[in-house]
A = this chain, B = another copy of it.
Amino acid sequence: MIDLKTIKSLIKMMVDHDLTEVDLEDQGEKVRIRRGGGGQPVAHHAAPPVAPAPVAVPAPSSAQPAVPEADEGLVPVPSPMVGTYYASPSPDAAPFVKVGQTIEPGQVVCIIEAMKVFNEIKSEIGGVVEKILVSNGQGVEFGQALIMVRP
């Protein structure tokens, strides 16, 4: 709950420390307070997404959000198609990429099999592979994040 007391303390903190903006989010409630150039904070307090407006629908089992954790500064490599994910070119080969590995733009990161065709999936960006989000043989959908890269 964001109540008056919370807002009060926030404003005090802002004045004390000469902050210009504070965003606070708590269980769907939001407060934004700004102190502009002239030192005037403005508080925006938004309650949970108003009523029958499009709410966040609980994603069905396989319909995962494309980008699970966008806020960490990581960039996803999404699947360009529906199909089955393979981490390596053949069952006994080494995987295309591992966590911690540095990849170049255009480097193949996995294979997606769709209708008996094995498609090499290339990363559009370069960076360090921080996470591999799918496991070998798993079905993936269009736009689903496969691996997360720190550019």
Residues of A within 8 A of B (CB): 4, 6-11, 13, 15, 17-28, 39-48, 50-53
Residue of B nearest to A21 (CB): B42
CA distance A7 to B47 in the complex (A): 17
Copies in the complex: 2
Write out the residue numbers on chain B whose beta carbons fall within 8 Å of the beta carbon of A19.
11, 40-43
Task: Tell whether, in the assembled complex, residue A51 and residue B28 are in contact, meaning their CB atoms are under 8 Å apart.
Answer: yes
Residue of B nearest to A24 (CB): B45
Write out the residue numbers on chain B whose beta carbons fall within 8 Å of the beta carbon of A39.
18
CB distance from A37 to the nearest CB of B (A): 12
Contact partner of A53 among B15, B20, B51, CB < 8 A?
B51
Residue of B nearest to A44 (CB): B23
